Chains A and B, each alone.
Chain A
Protein backbone atom coordinates (compact mmCIF):
# COMPACT_ATOMS: atom_id res chain seq x y z
CA UNK A 1 0.00 0.00 0.00
CA UNK A 2 1.39 3.37 -0.93
CA UNK A 3 -1.30 5.69 0.39
CA UNK A 4 0.03 8.44 2.64
CA UNK A 5 -0.33 7.42 6.33
CA UNK A 6 -3.81 7.76 7.79
CA UNK A 7 -6.79 7.93 5.51
CA UNK A 8 -8.58 11.26 5.36
CA UNK A 9 -11.29 11.53 7.96
CA UNK A 10 -13.84 14.30 8.04
CA UNK A 11 -12.27 16.92 10.33
CA UNK A 12 -15.51 18.20 11.77
CA UNK A 13 -18.00 15.80 13.26
CA UNK A 14 -21.45 15.90 11.79
CA UNK A 15 -24.21 17.56 13.78
CA UNK A 16 -25.95 14.25 14.12
CA UNK A 17 -22.94 12.56 15.74
CA UNK A 18 -22.44 15.40 18.17
CA UNK A 19 -26.11 15.37 19.13
CA UNK A 20 -25.98 11.62 19.66
CA UNK A 21 -22.88 11.88 21.83
CA UNK A 22 -24.38 14.64 23.93
CA UNK A 23 -27.58 12.66 24.39
CA UNK A 24 -25.59 9.60 25.47
CA UNK A 25 -23.53 11.64 27.90
CA UNK A 26 -26.67 13.13 29.44
CA UNK A 27 -28.24 9.70 29.81
CA UNK A 28 -25.05 8.37 31.38
CA UNK A 29 -24.95 11.32 33.79
CA UNK A 30 -28.58 10.88 34.75
CA UNK A 31 -28.16 7.18 35.49
CA UNK A 32 -24.96 7.85 37.41
CA UNK A 33 -26.57 10.50 39.57
CA UNK A 34 -29.32 8.03 40.38
CA UNK A 35 -26.80 5.30 41.27
CA UNK A 36 -24.94 7.82 43.44
CA UNK A 37 -28.15 8.41 45.40
CA UNK A 38 -28.62 4.67 45.91
CA UNK A 39 -25.15 4.50 47.44
CA UNK A 40 -26.52 5.78 50.76
CA UNK A 41 -28.70 2.69 51.04
CA UNK A 42 -25.74 0.33 50.92
CA UNK A 43 -24.31 1.73 54.11
CA UNK A 44 -25.14 1.01 57.77
CA UNK A 45 -27.20 3.63 59.68
CA UNK A 46 -25.58 7.06 59.93
CA UNK A 47 -24.88 7.11 63.63
CA UNK A 48 -22.14 9.74 63.66
CA UNK A 49 -21.34 13.08 62.08
CA UNK A 50 -18.43 11.35 60.36
CA UNK A 51 -20.85 8.88 58.79
CA UNK A 52 -22.72 11.74 57.14
CA UNK A 53 -19.49 13.11 55.71
CA UNK A 54 -18.19 9.75 54.53
CA UNK A 55 -21.47 8.84 52.89
CA UNK A 56 -21.53 12.10 50.99
CA UNK A 57 -18.04 11.36 49.74
CA UNK A 58 -19.03 7.82 48.82
CA UNK A 59 -22.11 9.03 46.99
CA UNK A 60 -19.91 11.43 45.03
CA UNK A 61 -17.34 8.74 44.22
CA UNK A 62 -20.08 6.33 43.18
CA UNK A 63 -21.56 8.91 40.83
CA UNK A 64 -18.27 9.59 39.10
CA UNK A 65 -17.33 5.91 39.08
CA UNK A 66 -20.65 4.91 37.53
CA UNK A 67 -20.31 7.56 34.85
CA UNK A 68 -16.95 6.19 33.78
CA UNK A 69 -17.88 2.54 34.13
CA UNK A 70 -21.09 2.92 32.14
CA UNK A 71 -19.46 5.04 29.47
CA UNK A 72 -16.60 2.65 28.85
CA UNK A 73 -18.60 -0.57 29.02
CA UNK A 74 -21.27 0.81 26.71
CA UNK A 75 -18.62 1.61 24.13
CA UNK A 76 -17.13 -1.87 24.45
CA UNK A 77 -20.50 -3.54 24.30
CA UNK A 78 -21.40 -1.57 21.19
CA UNK A 79 -18.19 -2.74 19.51
CA UNK A 80 -18.77 -6.33 20.49
CA UNK A 81 -22.32 -6.29 19.19
CA UNK A 82 -21.99 -4.24 16.04
CA UNK A 83 -18.37 -4.18 14.94
CA UNK A 84 -17.70 -7.85 14.41
CA UNK A 85 -15.88 -9.12 11.35
CA UNK A 86 -18.02 -11.17 9.00
CA UNK A 87 -17.25 -14.83 9.12
CA UNK A 88 -15.09 -14.94 6.01
CA UNK A 89 -13.80 -11.39 6.14
CA UNK A 90 -10.07 -11.58 6.80
CA UNK A 91 -9.32 -7.96 6.03
CA UNK A 92 -8.04 -5.52 8.63
CA UNK A 93 -9.75 -2.57 10.25
CA UNK A 94 -8.76 1.04 9.61
CA UNK A 95 -5.08 1.64 10.49
CA UNK A 96 -5.76 4.37 13.05
CA UNK A 97 -2.65 4.67 15.16
CA UNK A 98 -3.76 7.35 17.53
CA UNK A 99 -4.98 10.87 17.87
CA UNK A 100 -2.85 13.28 19.83
CA UNK A 101 -5.68 15.58 20.82
CA UNK A 102 -7.80 12.72 22.15
CA UNK A 103 -4.84 11.28 24.02
CA UNK A 104 -4.00 14.58 25.65
CA UNK A 105 -7.63 15.02 26.63
CA UNK A 106 -7.93 11.63 28.24
CA UNK A 107 -4.79 12.29 30.21
CA UNK A 108 -5.62 15.77 31.44
CA UNK A 109 -9.32 15.29 32.18
CA UNK A 110 -8.70 12.32 34.52
CA UNK A 111 -5.84 14.26 36.07
CA UNK A 112 -8.19 17.13 36.86
CA UNK A 113 -10.77 14.66 38.08
CA UNK A 114 -8.50 12.91 40.57
CA UNK A 115 -7.20 16.24 41.86
CA UNK A 116 -10.81 17.21 42.45
CA UNK A 117 -11.54 13.92 44.22
CA UNK A 118 -8.41 14.12 46.36
CA UNK A 119 -9.05 17.73 47.38
CA UNK A 120 -12.63 17.00 48.29
CA UNK A 121 -11.51 13.93 50.28
CA UNK A 122 -8.93 16.08 52.03
CA UNK A 123 -11.61 18.49 53.14
CA UNK A 124 -13.81 15.69 54.41
CA UNK A 125 -10.95 14.15 56.33
CA UNK A 126 -10.10 17.50 57.79
CA UNK A 127 -13.64 17.95 59.05
CA UNK A 128 -13.69 14.48 60.56
CA UNK A 129 -10.54 15.22 62.57
CA UNK A 130 -10.63 11.74 64.08
CA UNK A 131 -6.99 11.98 65.14
CA UNK A 132 -7.35 15.61 66.28
CA UNK A 133 -7.57 18.66 64.02
CA UNK A 134 -5.05 19.01 61.21
CA UNK A 135 -3.24 22.22 60.50
CA UNK A 136 -4.91 24.11 57.72
CA UNK A 137 -2.81 25.37 54.87
CA UNK A 138 -5.64 27.28 53.26
CA UNK A 139 -9.37 27.28 53.03
CA UNK A 140 -10.62 26.03 49.73
CA UNK A 141 -14.36 26.27 49.15
CA UNK A 142 -16.22 23.01 49.70
CA UNK A 143 -16.12 20.77 46.64
CA UNK A 144 -18.25 17.83 45.72
CA UNK A 145 -21.85 17.38 44.67
CA UNK A 146 -23.42 17.67 48.10
CA UNK A 147 -23.90 20.79 50.21
CA UNK A 148 -21.40 20.97 53.10
CA UNK A 149 -22.56 18.97 56.09
CA UNK A 150 -23.40 20.80 59.29
CA UNK A 151 -20.82 18.71 61.07
CA UNK A 152 -18.35 21.45 60.25
CA UNK A 153 -19.73 23.46 63.14
CA UNK A 154 -19.48 21.14 66.10
CA UNK A 155 -20.65 22.36 69.48
CA UNK A 156 -17.91 23.09 71.99
CA UNK A 157 -16.91 20.04 73.97
CA UNK A 158 -17.33 20.02 77.73
CA UNK A 159 -14.11 18.62 79.14
CA UNK A 160 -14.50 15.02 80.17
CA UNK A 161 -11.67 12.62 80.76
CA UNK A 162 -11.26 10.37 77.70
CA UNK A 163 -12.59 6.83 78.01
CA UNK A 164 -9.87 4.21 77.89
CA UNK A 165 -10.39 1.45 75.36
CA UNK A 166 -8.33 -1.58 76.28
CA UNK A 167 -8.14 -4.44 73.83
CA UNK A 168 -6.38 -7.75 74.16
CA UNK A 169 -6.58 -11.26 72.70
CA UNK A 170 -9.60 -11.37 72.66
CA UNK A 171 -11.69 -8.91 74.61
CA UNK A 172 -12.68 -5.26 74.59
CA UNK A 173 -12.77 -3.45 77.92
CA UNK A 174 -13.77 0.16 78.51
CA UNK A 175 -12.59 2.14 81.52
CA UNK A 176 -14.24 5.34 82.70
CA UNK A 177 -11.53 6.91 84.89
CA UNK A 178 -13.71 9.61 86.51
CA UNK A 179 -16.24 7.09 87.78
CA UNK A 180 -13.78 4.25 88.15
CA UNK A 181 -15.97 1.94 86.06
CA UNK A 182 -14.92 -1.01 83.93
CA UNK A 183 -17.38 -2.26 81.32
CA UNK A 184 -17.48 -4.51 78.29
CA UNK A 185 -20.07 -2.29 76.68
CA UNK A 186 -19.09 1.16 75.46
CA UNK A 187 -21.62 3.83 76.44
CA UNK A 188 -21.45 7.25 74.87
CA UNK A 189 -23.67 10.33 75.20
CA UNK A 190 -25.29 11.43 71.95
CA UNK A 191 -24.32 14.67 70.17
CA UNK A 192 -21.13 15.06 72.06
CA UNK A 193 -17.69 14.39 70.72
CA UNK A 194 -16.51 11.05 72.06
CA UNK A 195 -12.93 11.03 73.16
CA UNK A 196 -11.13 7.74 73.48
CA UNK A 197 -7.68 6.52 74.34
CA UNK A 198 -6.94 3.35 72.40
CA UNK A 199 -4.62 0.91 74.14
CA UNK A 200 -3.60 -2.56 73.03
CA UNK A 201 -2.13 -4.94 75.53
CA UNK A 202 -0.63 -7.47 73.10
CA UNK A 203 -0.93 -7.38 69.31
CA UNK A 204 -2.44 -5.07 66.70
CA UNK A 205 -6.19 -4.71 66.88
CA UNK A 206 -8.56 -2.35 65.13
CA UNK A 207 -11.30 -0.23 66.67
CA UNK A 208 -14.13 -0.23 64.14
CA UNK A 209 -17.77 0.77 64.44
CA UNK A 210 -19.32 0.53 60.97
CA UNK A 211 -22.27 2.74 61.93
CA UNK A 212 -19.80 5.51 62.79
CA UNK A 213 -17.61 4.88 59.67
CA UNK A 214 -14.52 5.27 61.82
CA UNK A 215 -11.68 2.90 62.28
CA UNK A 216 -8.27 3.03 63.88
CA UNK A 217 -5.65 0.38 64.42
CA UNK A 218 -4.69 -0.01 68.04
CA UNK A 219 -0.93 -0.30 68.29
CA UNK A 220 0.73 -2.04 71.22
CA UNK A 221 3.28 0.22 72.84
CA UNK A 222 1.51 3.48 72.09
CA UNK A 223 -1.70 5.17 73.17
CA UNK A 224 -3.77 6.67 70.38
CA UNK A 225 -6.13 9.59 70.94
CA UNK A 226 -9.22 9.04 68.91
CA UNK A 227 -12.48 10.90 68.55
CA UNK A 228 -15.77 11.09 66.68
CA UNK A 229 -19.25 12.46 67.11
CA UNK A 230 -22.20 10.09 67.71
CA UNK A 231 -25.44 11.71 66.57
CA UNK A 232 -28.03 8.94 66.75
CA UNK A 233 -29.17 6.95 69.76
CA UNK A 234 -29.00 3.19 69.42
CA UNK A 235 -26.94 0.06 69.92
CA UNK A 236 -24.19 -0.57 67.38
CA UNK A 237 -21.62 -3.22 66.62
CA UNK A 238 -17.97 -2.74 67.51
CA UNK A 239 -15.59 -4.99 65.61
CA UNK A 240 -11.93 -5.82 65.77
CA UNK A 241 -10.74 -4.76 62.32
CA UNK A 242 -7.06 -5.65 62.32
CA UNK A 243 -6.40 -9.36 62.24
CA UNK A 244 -5.37 -10.36 65.75
CA UNK A 245 -4.97 -14.13 65.73
CA UNK A 246 -7.10 -17.20 66.35
CA UNK A 247 -10.29 -15.72 67.84
CA UNK A 248 -10.11 -12.47 65.88
CA UNK A 249 -13.59 -12.94 64.42
CA UNK A 250 -15.13 -13.33 67.88
CA UNK A 251 -13.60 -10.13 69.22
CA UNK A 252 -16.69 -7.96 68.97
CA UNK A 253 -18.70 -5.75 71.26
CA UNK A 254 -21.58 -3.33 71.51
CA UNK A 255 -21.52 0.47 71.60
CA UNK A 256 -24.53 2.23 73.10
CA UNK A 257 -25.30 5.82 72.19
CA UNK A 258 -27.83 7.38 74.52
CA UNK A 259 -29.14 10.68 75.84
CA UNK A 260 -27.15 12.58 78.43
CA UNK A 261 -29.62 11.57 81.19
CA UNK A 262 -29.56 7.89 80.27
CA UNK A 263 -25.78 8.06 80.09
CA UNK A 264 -25.49 9.59 83.58
CA UNK A 265 -27.94 7.02 84.89
CA UNK A 266 -25.91 4.20 83.36
CA UNK A 267 -22.70 5.55 84.87
CA UNK A 268 -24.32 5.75 88.30
CA UNK A 269 -25.82 2.25 88.06
CA UNK A 270 -22.59 0.72 86.82
CA UNK A 271 -20.54 2.38 89.55
CA UNK A 272 -22.80 0.75 92.12
CA UNK A 273 -22.18 -2.74 90.73
CA UNK A 274 -19.41 -5.00 92.06
CA UNK A 275 -16.87 -6.45 89.64
CA UNK A 276 -18.08 -9.67 88.06
CA UNK A 277 -16.77 -11.86 85.31
CA UNK A 278 -18.01 -10.86 81.87
CA UNK A 279 -19.06 -13.28 79.19
CA UNK A 280 -16.23 -13.79 76.73
CA UNK A 281 -16.74 -15.71 73.54
CA UNK A 282 -13.12 -16.50 72.79
CA UNK A 283 -12.53 -17.86 76.26
CA UNK A 284 -15.79 -19.80 76.18
CA UNK A 285 -14.93 -21.41 72.84
CA UNK A 286 -11.40 -22.16 73.91
CA UNK A 287 -12.47 -23.96 77.08
CA UNK A 288 -15.32 -25.84 75.41
CA UNK A 289 -13.00 -28.61 74.25
CA UNK A 290 -14.26 -31.62 72.39
CA UNK A 291 -17.02 -29.57 70.82
CA UNK A 292 -15.05 -28.49 67.78
CA UNK A 293 -15.55 -28.73 64.06
CA UNK A 294 -12.81 -30.29 61.93
CA UNK A 295 -9.72 -29.51 63.92
CA UNK A 296 -6.07 -30.14 63.24
CA UNK A 297 -5.27 -29.84 66.91
CA UNK A 298 -2.91 -26.96 66.27
CA UNK A 299 -1.80 -25.09 69.33
CA UNK A 300 -3.11 -21.54 69.66
CA UNK A 301 -2.33 -18.50 71.74
CA UNK A 302 -4.58 -18.86 74.76
CA UNK A 303 -7.31 -16.28 75.21
CA UNK A 304 -6.98 -14.01 78.23
CA UNK A 305 -9.45 -14.85 81.01
CA UNK A 306 -12.76 -12.99 80.75
CA UNK A 307 -12.53 -9.38 81.97
CA UNK A 308 -13.91 -8.57 85.43
CA UNK A 309 -16.20 -5.62 85.03
CA UNK A 310 -18.90 -3.52 86.70
CA UNK A 311 -21.09 -3.81 83.66
CA UNK A 312 -21.03 -6.74 81.30
CA UNK A 313 -22.48 -7.29 77.91
CA UNK A 314 -21.93 -10.12 75.55
CA UNK A 315 -21.03 -10.46 71.94
CA UNK A 316 -24.38 -12.13 71.55
CA UNK A 317 -26.28 -9.02 72.66
CA UNK A 318 -28.49 -7.27 70.17
CA UNK A 319 -27.45 -4.29 68.08
CA UNK A 320 -28.64 -2.51 64.97
Chain B
Protein backbone atom coordinates (compact mmCIF):
# COMPACT_ATOMS: atom_id res chain seq x y z
CA UNK B 1 0.00 0.00 0.00
CA UNK B 2 1.49 3.33 -1.00
CA UNK B 3 1.33 6.25 1.37
CA UNK B 4 -0.59 9.40 0.56
CA UNK B 5 1.58 11.88 -1.34
CA UNK B 6 2.83 14.80 0.71
CA UNK B 7 2.74 18.20 -0.94
CA UNK B 8 2.77 20.69 1.95
CA UNK B 9 5.62 23.20 1.63
CA UNK B 10 6.97 21.71 -1.59
CA UNK B 11 7.76 23.72 -4.68
CA UNK B 12 6.86 22.86 -8.24
CA UNK B 13 9.84 23.72 -10.43
CA UNK B 14 9.08 21.09 -13.04
CA UNK B 15 7.34 17.74 -13.29
CA UNK B 16 10.69 16.03 -12.76
CA UNK B 17 10.13 16.68 -9.09
CA UNK B 18 6.87 14.72 -8.92
CA UNK B 19 6.18 11.01 -9.31
CA UNK B 20 3.49 9.49 -11.48
CA UNK B 21 1.37 8.89 -8.37
CA UNK B 22 1.77 12.47 -7.25
CA UNK B 23 0.76 13.79 -10.66
CA UNK B 24 -2.35 11.60 -10.59
CA UNK B 25 -3.14 12.85 -7.10
CA UNK B 26 -2.97 16.46 -8.38
CA UNK B 27 -5.29 15.59 -11.26
CA UNK B 28 -7.81 14.06 -8.88
CA UNK B 29 -7.64 17.16 -6.69
CA UNK B 30 -8.10 19.37 -9.75
CA UNK B 31 -11.24 17.44 -10.61
CA UNK B 32 -12.73 18.53 -7.31
CA UNK B 33 -11.63 22.11 -7.86
CA UNK B 34 -13.21 22.15 -11.29
CA UNK B 35 -16.51 21.32 -9.68
CA UNK B 36 -16.16 24.40 -7.45
CA UNK B 37 -15.59 26.53 -10.54
CA UNK B 38 -18.89 25.36 -11.95
CA UNK B 39 -20.89 26.45 -8.90
CA UNK B 40 -22.83 29.68 -8.77
CA UNK B 41 -20.70 30.86 -5.80
CA UNK B 42 -17.18 29.95 -6.82
CA UNK B 43 -15.33 30.45 -3.58
CA UNK B 44 -14.23 28.32 -0.63
CA UNK B 45 -12.46 29.51 2.55
CA UNK B 46 -9.68 26.95 2.40
CA UNK B 47 -6.67 29.31 2.19
CA UNK B 48 -8.11 32.15 4.23
CA UNK B 49 -5.23 34.01 5.92
CA UNK B 50 -2.60 32.81 3.43
CA UNK B 51 -0.90 35.20 1.02
CA UNK B 52 -0.01 34.27 -2.52
CA UNK B 53 2.27 36.46 -4.64
CA UNK B 54 2.18 36.32 -8.40
CA UNK B 55 5.71 37.40 -9.27
CA UNK B 56 5.60 38.01 -12.99
CA UNK B 57 8.90 39.30 -14.31
CA UNK B 58 7.85 38.37 -17.84
CA UNK B 59 4.55 39.61 -19.17
CA UNK B 60 1.69 37.17 -19.29
CA UNK B 61 -1.80 38.36 -18.56
CA UNK B 62 -3.55 35.04 -19.08
CA UNK B 63 -1.37 32.90 -16.86
CA UNK B 64 -1.19 35.55 -14.14
CA UNK B 65 -4.97 35.90 -14.12
CA UNK B 66 -5.33 32.15 -13.93
CA UNK B 67 -3.05 31.96 -10.87
CA UNK B 68 -4.76 34.93 -9.22
CA UNK B 69 -8.22 33.58 -9.86
CA UNK B 70 -7.16 30.24 -8.42
CA UNK B 71 -5.86 31.90 -5.25
CA UNK B 72 -8.94 34.10 -4.94
CA UNK B 73 -11.29 31.17 -5.23
CA UNK B 74 -9.49 29.52 -2.34
CA UNK B 75 -9.84 32.80 -0.35
CA UNK B 76 -6.10 33.54 -0.17
CA UNK B 77 -4.92 37.14 -0.22
CA UNK B 78 -3.21 37.87 -3.52
CA UNK B 79 -0.51 40.40 -4.26
CA UNK B 80 0.58 40.91 -7.81
CA UNK B 81 4.10 41.92 -8.75
CA UNK B 82 4.62 43.01 -12.33
CA UNK B 83 8.05 43.97 -13.54
CA UNK B 84 6.87 46.68 -15.91
CA UNK B 85 5.92 48.84 -12.94
CA UNK B 86 8.33 47.37 -10.45
CA UNK B 87 11.60 48.03 -8.72
CA UNK B 88 13.30 45.62 -11.13
CA UNK B 89 12.93 48.32 -13.75
CA UNK B 90 14.89 50.57 -11.39
CA UNK B 91 17.77 48.13 -11.25
CA UNK B 92 16.91 46.10 -8.16
CA UNK B 93 18.02 42.48 -8.28
CA UNK B 94 15.63 39.54 -8.08
CA UNK B 95 17.30 38.64 -4.79
CA UNK B 96 16.49 41.98 -3.17
CA UNK B 97 13.00 41.98 -4.62
CA UNK B 98 12.30 38.62 -3.02
CA UNK B 99 13.78 39.73 0.31
CA UNK B 100 11.42 42.70 0.25
CA UNK B 101 8.36 40.66 -0.66
CA UNK B 102 9.25 38.03 1.90
CA UNK B 103 9.34 40.66 4.62
CA UNK B 104 5.68 41.30 3.81
CA UNK B 105 4.73 37.75 4.70
CA UNK B 106 4.25 35.90 1.44
CA UNK B 107 3.36 32.22 1.83
CA UNK B 108 3.59 31.09 -1.78
CA UNK B 109 5.18 32.54 -4.89
CA UNK B 110 3.91 31.90 -8.41
CA UNK B 111 6.65 33.08 -10.72
CA UNK B 112 6.95 33.78 -14.44
CA UNK B 113 10.44 34.78 -15.59
CA UNK B 114 12.39 34.73 -18.82
CA UNK B 115 15.43 33.15 -17.11
CA UNK B 116 15.56 29.36 -16.75
CA UNK B 117 16.12 28.39 -13.12
CA UNK B 118 14.70 31.59 -11.65
CA UNK B 119 11.99 29.74 -9.63
CA UNK B 120 14.78 27.88 -7.83
CA UNK B 121 16.41 31.22 -7.03
CA UNK B 122 13.16 32.61 -5.62
CA UNK B 123 12.83 29.52 -3.47
CA UNK B 124 16.44 29.87 -2.31
CA UNK B 125 16.06 33.53 -1.39
CA UNK B 126 12.58 33.23 0.16
CA UNK B 127 12.59 29.82 1.76
CA UNK B 128 8.95 29.62 0.65
CA UNK B 129 7.34 27.24 -1.80
CA UNK B 130 7.32 28.36 -5.41
CA UNK B 131 5.11 27.33 -8.30
CA UNK B 132 6.84 27.79 -11.62
CA UNK B 133 4.56 29.65 -13.99
CA UNK B 134 7.09 29.44 -16.82
CA UNK B 135 10.84 30.08 -16.81
CA UNK B 136 12.30 30.96 -20.17
CA UNK B 137 12.37 28.02 -22.53
CA UNK B 138 12.90 25.63 -19.63
CA UNK B 139 9.60 24.54 -18.15
CA UNK B 140 5.95 25.33 -17.60
CA UNK B 141 4.69 22.58 -15.35
CA UNK B 142 1.23 23.98 -14.57
CA UNK B 143 0.53 24.24 -18.29
CA UNK B 144 1.65 20.64 -18.70
CA UNK B 145 -0.57 19.57 -15.81
CA UNK B 146 -3.61 21.30 -17.28
CA UNK B 147 -2.85 19.79 -20.68
CA UNK B 148 -2.60 16.34 -19.14
CA UNK B 149 -5.74 16.98 -17.09
CA UNK B 150 -7.63 17.94 -20.27
CA UNK B 151 -6.58 14.73 -22.01
CA UNK B 152 -7.28 12.57 -18.95
CA UNK B 153 -10.71 14.11 -18.57
CA UNK B 154 -11.66 13.41 -22.18
CA UNK B 155 -9.83 10.19 -22.98
CA UNK B 156 -9.19 8.58 -19.61
CA UNK B 157 -5.92 6.74 -18.99
CA UNK B 158 -2.98 8.49 -20.65
CA UNK B 159 -0.96 5.30 -20.89
CA UNK B 160 -0.40 4.19 -24.48
CA UNK B 161 -1.99 7.28 -26.04
CA UNK B 162 -0.28 8.63 -29.14
CA UNK B 163 0.25 12.34 -28.66
CA UNK B 164 1.76 14.55 -31.35
CA UNK B 165 3.06 18.02 -30.56
CA UNK B 166 3.73 20.25 -33.56
CA UNK B 167 5.43 23.61 -33.85
CA UNK B 168 8.29 25.62 -32.40
CA UNK B 169 9.76 22.90 -30.21
CA UNK B 170 13.06 24.73 -29.73
CA UNK B 171 11.55 27.71 -27.94
CA UNK B 172 8.75 25.93 -26.10
CA UNK B 173 8.79 25.45 -22.35
CA UNK B 174 5.37 23.86 -22.65
CA UNK B 175 6.66 20.96 -24.69
CA UNK B 176 9.56 20.28 -22.32
CA UNK B 177 7.28 19.94 -19.29
CA UNK B 178 4.68 18.01 -21.26
CA UNK B 179 7.28 15.50 -22.41
CA UNK B 180 8.25 14.83 -18.80
CA UNK B 181 4.67 14.59 -17.53
CA UNK B 182 3.21 12.66 -20.44
CA UNK B 183 6.22 10.34 -20.39
CA UNK B 184 5.69 9.59 -16.72
CA UNK B 185 2.08 8.67 -17.41
CA UNK B 186 3.04 6.33 -20.25
CA UNK B 187 2.02 8.28 -23.38
CA UNK B 188 3.89 7.87 -26.67
CA UNK B 189 4.80 11.38 -27.69
CA UNK B 190 6.01 12.55 -31.07
CA UNK B 191 7.39 16.06 -31.54
CA UNK B 192 7.34 17.62 -34.96
CA UNK B 193 8.69 20.80 -36.54
CA UNK B 194 11.40 21.96 -38.90
CA UNK B 195 14.93 20.90 -38.01
CA UNK B 196 15.96 24.46 -37.17
CA UNK B 197 13.25 24.61 -34.51
CA UNK B 198 14.12 21.22 -33.00
CA UNK B 199 16.62 21.07 -30.08
CA UNK B 200 19.45 18.55 -30.43
CA UNK B 201 19.36 15.22 -28.59
CA UNK B 202 15.58 15.28 -28.06
CA UNK B 203 15.21 11.50 -28.17
CA UNK B 204 17.96 10.94 -25.65
CA UNK B 205 16.90 13.70 -23.28
CA UNK B 206 13.21 12.78 -23.38
CA UNK B 207 11.40 9.58 -24.12
CA UNK B 208 9.94 10.78 -27.42
CA UNK B 209 10.04 10.39 -31.19
CA UNK B 210 11.19 13.22 -33.46
CA UNK B 211 9.59 13.76 -36.86
CA UNK B 212 10.22 16.54 -39.34
CA UNK B 213 7.38 15.49 -41.61
CA UNK B 214 3.89 16.44 -40.39
CA UNK B 215 2.04 13.59 -42.08
CA UNK B 216 4.25 10.97 -40.52
CA UNK B 217 4.05 12.70 -37.16
CA UNK B 218 0.26 12.82 -37.16
CA UNK B 219 -0.30 9.22 -38.21
CA UNK B 220 -2.79 7.58 -35.84
CA UNK B 221 -2.44 10.29 -33.22
CA UNK B 222 -5.01 10.31 -30.40
CA UNK B 223 -4.10 13.86 -29.41
CA UNK B 224 -2.66 16.67 -31.53
CA UNK B 225 -1.23 19.76 -29.91
CA UNK B 226 -0.18 22.82 -31.85
CA UNK B 227 2.45 25.16 -30.46
CA UNK B 228 2.80 28.86 -31.10
CA UNK B 229 5.64 30.12 -33.25
CA UNK B 230 7.48 32.15 -30.64
CA UNK B 231 8.68 34.91 -32.89
CA UNK B 232 9.78 37.05 -29.93
CA UNK B 233 12.34 34.40 -28.96
CA UNK B 234 13.79 34.00 -32.43
CA UNK B 235 16.83 36.16 -32.85
CA UNK B 236 18.00 34.69 -36.10
CA UNK B 237 16.53 33.30 -39.28
CA UNK B 238 15.41 29.84 -38.34
CA UNK B 239 12.82 29.55 -41.09
CA UNK B 240 12.17 31.58 -44.23
CA UNK B 241 8.66 32.89 -43.57
CA UNK B 242 5.49 32.21 -41.61
CA UNK B 243 3.84 31.47 -44.92
CA UNK B 244 6.32 28.72 -45.73
CA UNK B 245 6.07 27.33 -42.20
CA UNK B 246 2.32 27.23 -42.46
CA UNK B 247 2.39 25.43 -45.80
CA UNK B 248 4.31 22.56 -44.25
CA UNK B 249 3.17 22.42 -40.63
CA UNK B 250 -0.28 23.97 -40.20
CA UNK B 251 -2.94 21.86 -38.50
CA UNK B 252 -5.80 21.73 -40.97
CA UNK B 253 -8.60 19.38 -41.97
CA UNK B 254 -6.31 18.13 -44.68
CA UNK B 255 -3.35 17.29 -42.46
CA UNK B 256 -5.46 15.96 -39.60
CA UNK B 257 -6.78 13.23 -41.85
CA UNK B 258 -3.67 11.32 -40.88
CA UNK B 259 -4.54 11.43 -37.19
CA UNK B 260 -7.23 9.29 -35.60
CA UNK B 261 -10.78 10.32 -36.34
CA UNK B 262 -11.94 12.61 -33.51
CA UNK B 263 -8.40 13.12 -32.28
CA UNK B 264 -8.32 15.67 -29.48
CA UNK B 265 -7.07 19.08 -30.67
CA UNK B 266 -5.10 21.19 -28.21
CA UNK B 267 -3.10 24.39 -28.11
CA UNK B 268 -1.61 26.15 -25.08
CA UNK B 269 -2.37 29.54 -26.59
CA UNK B 270 -2.16 32.22 -27.58
CA UNK B 271 -2.78 30.94 -31.09
CA UNK B 272 -1.56 32.38 -34.34
CA UNK B 273 -4.61 31.40 -36.33
CA UNK B 274 -3.68 30.56 -39.87
CA UNK B 275 -0.04 29.95 -39.01
CA UNK B 276 0.10 26.88 -36.80
CA UNK B 277 -3.60 26.05 -36.74
CA UNK B 278 -6.53 26.92 -38.98
CA UNK B 279 -9.76 28.27 -37.41
CA UNK B 280 -11.72 25.29 -38.78
CA UNK B 281 -9.66 23.08 -36.48
CA UNK B 282 -9.24 25.43 -33.53
CA UNK B 283 -12.99 25.93 -33.29
CA UNK B 284 -14.06 22.40 -34.17
CA UNK B 285 -15.86 19.95 -31.92
CA UNK B 286 -12.61 18.05 -31.47
CA UNK B 287 -10.92 21.09 -29.99
CA UNK B 288 -10.52 21.46 -26.21
CA UNK B 289 -8.54 24.69 -26.45
CA UNK B 290 -11.06 26.75 -24.47
CA UNK B 291 -11.49 23.99 -21.89
CA UNK B 292 -7.74 23.97 -21.38
CA UNK B 293 -8.00 27.52 -20.08
CA UNK B 294 -10.76 26.59 -17.65
CA UNK B 295 -8.83 23.54 -16.49
CA UNK B 296 -5.84 25.76 -15.82
CA UNK B 297 -7.65 27.47 -12.99
CA UNK B 298 -8.68 24.14 -11.48
CA UNK B 299 -5.19 22.67 -11.68
CA UNK B 300 -3.63 25.77 -10.08
CA UNK B 301 -6.24 25.73 -7.33
CA UNK B 302 -5.37 22.11 -6.64
CA UNK B 303 -1.67 22.87 -6.44
CA UNK B 304 -2.10 25.84 -4.14
CA UNK B 305 -4.42 23.84 -1.93
CA UNK B 306 -1.99 20.93 -1.68
CA UNK B 307 1.18 23.02 -1.25
CA UNK B 308 -0.24 25.38 1.33
CA UNK B 309 -1.71 22.45 3.20
CA UNK B 310 -5.27 23.67 3.02
CA UNK B 311 -7.93 21.80 4.93
CA UNK B 312 -10.95 20.74 2.94
Say whether A associates with B.
no
B interface residues with partner A (beta carbon < 8 Å) = none
